[in-house]
Structure 1
């Protein structure tokens, strides 16, 4: 189903109602929330159209993308839970579906018998690559913002998330550097 544009700006309409009923800070907060929500809905619609063509949900795709980026092609289920910020039971369900579809296999950890790893299969790598190419071409590259606007928006949303307690700002840079070094990323190259 095609995403149909609204005949008016829902965010501005909502902001005006809030200004009439409440106050400026509440109205602008409502407008920020509504703008983020509507933008997320619009972008998720575009992403879901790509995912549907590959028999994936975005959550399953995210697991594949992390596994494909991992030099060893395998990650602990607990690590996936932490990085994707989803409960362990949800990770188990995601991995079950990926295993059933032949995209991932469970393997024992080489040094910790209590830990199970999810390892991407060749088929999973091919599906992830094709889905990522389509996301890049159909959603991410054509995003209706310039590079400078994207950077500014990422920064503003990072501040919102940081101040809202979504991540530990005192440890974030060190943790990301550690992730990069284990993957051979920018800090590890």
Structure 2
């Protein structure tokens, strides 16, 4: 992605003003918040893609490697991977196909259930997961520009939103 000059003013703030001038005063601030979240997602995705490019990974494939690397044995049922990553089984299969072709994971038969498949990190997959995590930590996660308080508040707000949207069951619900 080539660097570009910042815009002279905030187009989302302008859009909010347009919303308010058209009488959508109650919706104007939430529209600006949603649009800002979507723009921030684009910015962060571009940063993560740049950090992961040297490893030949997309963020989705990185998440799968990270998930496996966090498990005790570097293995996980393929069906469980999709549930934990909250993606469709077809997306998991596509990511696994690419990671397997790159020699980073392998499919293994389950020890007792012939219908189930286990995904396992290869030694190269473990190395790439560790190096990609270090790159993301250094180039993206440690450089968000958010203060510690911002991060705490954002996590609280976004977690509450996700719970209310049915993304997961909130504790005590």
The TM-score range, normalised by the shorter chain, is: over 0.9
**Aligned residues of 2:52 and 2:135 also touching (Cα < 8 A):** no
The alpha carbon displacement at 1:171 in A equals 7.1
1:67 lines up with 2:65 in the alignment: no
- CA distances 1:47-97 after superposition (whole Å, capped 9, x unpaired): 000111111111000000000111111111111111111111111111011
Provide, for residues 107-158 of structure 1, a one-character-per-residue CA deviation record: whole Å limited to 9, x for no partner: 1112222110110111011111111101100110121011111011110111
Aligned twin of 1:152:
153
Counterpart Cα distance in 2 of 1:42 and 1:6: 14
Separation in 2, partners of 1:22, 1:60: 44
**TM-superposed deviation, 1:170:** 4.8
Inter-partner Cα distance in structure 2 for 1:77 and 1:47? 25
What aligned pairs does 1:117-132 form with structure 2 within 5 A after superposition? 117-132=118-133
Consecutive unaligned residues in structure 2, runs of 5 or more:
none
Report the TM-score when normalising by structure 2: 0.93
Q: Matched residues in 2 for 1:2 and 1:130: separation?
A: 25
Which residue in 1 is equivalent to 2:109? 108
Conserved? CA contact 2:48–2:136, under 8 Å: yes
Q: CA deviation at 1:9?
A: 1.3
Q: Structure 2: how far apart are the matches of 1:45 and 1:77? A: 28
Contact 1:3 1:42 in 2 (8 A): no
How far apart in 2 are the matches of 1:151 and 1:162?
Answer: 16
1:29-48 CA-partner distances (Å, limit 9, x unpaired): 11111110011111111000
The secondary structure found in structure 1 opposite 2:143 is coil
How many residues are matched? 172
Q: For residue 105 of structure 1, give the secondary structure of its aligned residue in structure 2.
A: strand
Residue 78 of structure 1 aligns to a residue in which SS? helix
Distance of 1:41 and 1:13 partners within structure 2: 19
Aligned Cα RMSD in Å?
1.5
Q: Which residue of 1 aligns with 2:2?
A: 2
Q: For 1:156-178, what per-residue CA distance to the aligned partner results, in whole angstroms no more than 9, with x for missing partners?
A: 11122222222222578xxxxxx
Relative to structure 1, is the Cα distance of residues 99 and 31 closer, same or farther in structure 2, using a 3 angstrom cutoff? same
Q: Distance in 2 between matches of 1:128 and 1:23?
A: 47
